[in-house]
Structure 1
Amino acid sequence: MGGDSDFLTQVTQSYRAAGWSPAAKGMLCALFGCYALEKASSLLSQYVLNNWHSIEPWNSRQELVLITGGSSGIGRRIAEDLSERGVKVVIVDIQEPQWNPPSNIYFYEADVTSSERVKAAAEAIREQHGHPTVLVNNAGVFFNGTILEEPESMIQKSFKVNILAHFLTVKEFLPKMVQQNHGHIITMASMASFITVGEMVDYACTKASALAFHEGLSQEIRHWHRADKVRTSIVHPLWVHTPLIRNLIDAGGSFDQPIMDTGVVSGAVVKQIIAKKSGSVILPASVSFATLIRSFPSWLQEWLRSKFSAKVKRVRDEFWSRKPSL
């Protein structure tokens, strides 16, 4: 609200300073009109995404958040930030946390690509803690390499972890949310959902699939299950400082893209959870234009993809040129 107030104050001051010039006043009125239209559109989107229901207050004591891939990276930071707010959190990961979780964070070892192991972990969680009310599908892998270079095993793992696991966890935990008409499913996607560059084709394919999964899941919850108070959100970060992109980070100054700290992503996810709102989150907001790339002319689309592909290839070439040969 502070930002809106500052903007309106600046517009008012500019209007007064413009004197009685019709051209200046017309421009300011047009600017204010665009601002009002954007705010109205944003408000309408909020109501539509949340099925025209008012948002109920968040109560930490009534919620149980389950995070896949929560032992490290973004998942760990989300778990820690929720824990500090008194939220009970369950981590499901194939590896144990290499840190000491506080007393309200619980760990269950499970391979989220195995339906049997997901089911076994789910049964243990329900027995010991009750039914999760928030599911954060965060587990993910990323491998470098062109289509011809990357081993088939890694390609299959990308699809199993980054998208198949979403189906398995939702099939396990959504039914109770639907029954209670209460819950929130958050899909961790990427800006790669919208633009695909070389050497990360399998990753981009899985993230585009994650976007389709989120959209279809939202429709099924609304129309098939009629659980109009179960929320769905999707988060699209650009580059985040995690082990997944260590080779790009190690390239140093040659990789001149903005890299966010995990705290930025966690802050957005936690805000979405506590607000109990459905929606789409782009991080950083300054790259939101990329969501429109499919509507650009073909020449512009290809220019943007080529620009990013050339950057990724240059970083890899520089990285390997500095790596000592065996």
Structure 2
Amino acid sequence: MDPAAGLMGAVRSPGERPVALVTGGASGIGRAVVEDLAGHGYAVVVLDLGEPPGPLPPQVVTVIGDVREPADNERAVQTALSRWGRLDLFVGNAGVHDGGVRLRDRDGPALAALARQVLDIDVVGYLLGASASAEALAERRGSMVFTLSDASFMVSGNGAGIAYAAAKHACLGVVRHLAADLAPHVRVNAVAPGGVITGLRSVGEDGASREVYAEPEPVAAAIRQLNPLGILAQPHQLAPLYRFLAGPSAFGLTGEILRPDGGLAVR
């Protein structure tokens, strides 16, 4: 195959269904991406720790697993291949927050435990998903799309602590490295939202978690005040960006980050 054909994305015959794998697809942005893809003709495999609540389209299947485990990522890819014989899109989305912990909020051992929890899920989970899916995606001239954050660029004012900021900055490097490494066979891009209230959870050094947005109303007001457009984005508004990056209209994009953050980049 001509390597340049990879720029056009996966080519399929009429009536052929593209297949996506979404990690962390049971809730939040991941759930919105799953529903958007399924509503536009994709079959979808969800890799998550639990079953998504509520009904999902029949072309969506769930693999219960942990993104930190290589075998679980590989099992999710194999589920796509065994059911539909292909994989066109990997969406790395599963992640946790650190609750805004700063350097001096924890002693050394506690900080190390917290950082390992966050980095293992948010960074190593992305690496393992990419590793498991790369070969199948290359066969289809497919795409990877990762969820980043305003914390991939900002280190204050957005509630991110040191571990989460470190993880999301690292994910920016992951996207750029993979874009160079996997070209021309696989395009790799990302969406970096800013100010989206979801079911995102923060994890402690003991592994326990709590909702980051347990009191959403004051957070929503702060988000609107922070960004120049004064907006509060919803997961369903972000989901089409993932489909765009995976589709033929984004044929020339790799290593790019879409930033639907209300204009935080210019403030």
**Structure 2: how far apart are the matches of 1:211 and 1:52?**
22
SS at match of 2:122: helix
| % same residue | 20
Shift of 1:241: 1.7
- 2:261 is aligned with 1:284: yes
**Structure 1: how far apart are the matches of 2:34 and 2:214?**
26
Shift of 1:268: 1.5
Shift of 1:252: 5.2
Pairing of 1:54-133 with structure 2 (within 5 A): 61-133=16-88
TM-score normalised to the size of structure 2? Answer: 0.78
**Structure 2: how far apart are the matches of 1:113 and 1:234?**
20
Q: How many residues align?
A: 235
Q: 1:157 aligns with which of 112, 117, 129?
A: 117
Q: 1:230 aligns with which of 186, 192, 197?
A: 186
Q: Alpha carbon RMSD of aligned pairs, Å?
A: 2.6
In structure 2, give the amino acid aligned to 1:271: F
- 2:197 is aligned with 1:241: yes
- 2:152 is aligned with 1:193: yes
Residue 267 and residue 209 in structure 1: after superposition, are their counterparts in 2 closer, same or farther (change >3 A)? same
Structure 1 or 2, whichever has the larger Rg, is 1
Corresponding residue for residue 146 of structure 1 = 102
Corresponding residue for residue 203 of structure 1 = 164
Decide whether the 8 Å contact of 1:66 with 1:135 is kept in 2.
Answer: yes
Shift of 1:167: 1.1
Structure having the higher helix fraction is 1
**Structure 2: how far apart are the matches of 1:116 and 1:89?**
19
SS at match of 1:218: helix
Decide whether the 8 Å contact of 2:21 with 2:76 is kept in 1.
Answer: no
- 2:251 is aligned with 1:251: no
Larger RCO (CA within 8 A; separation ≥ 6): 2
Decide whether the 8 Å contact of 2:195 with 2:261 is kept in 1.
Answer: no
**Structure 1: how far apart are the matches of 2:182 and 2:143?**
11
SS at match of 1:240: coil
Residue 231 and residue 116 in structure 1: after superposition, are their counterparts in 2 closer, same or farther (change >3 A)? same
**Structure 2: how far apart are the matches of 1:192 and 1:140?**
13
Q: 2:175 aligns with which of 197, 205, 214?
A: 214
Decide whether the 8 Å contact of 2:21 with 2:77 is kept in 1.
Answer: no
TM-score normalised to the size of structure 1? Answer: 0.65
**Structure 1: how far apart are the matches of 2:26 and 2:15?**
21
**Structure 1: how far apart are the matches of 2:142 and 2:50?**
27
In structure 2, give the amino acid aligned to 1:156: R
Residue 220 and residue 253 in structure 1: after superposition, are their counterparts in 2 closer, same or farther (change >3 A)? closer
In structure 2, give the amino acid aligned to 1:192: A
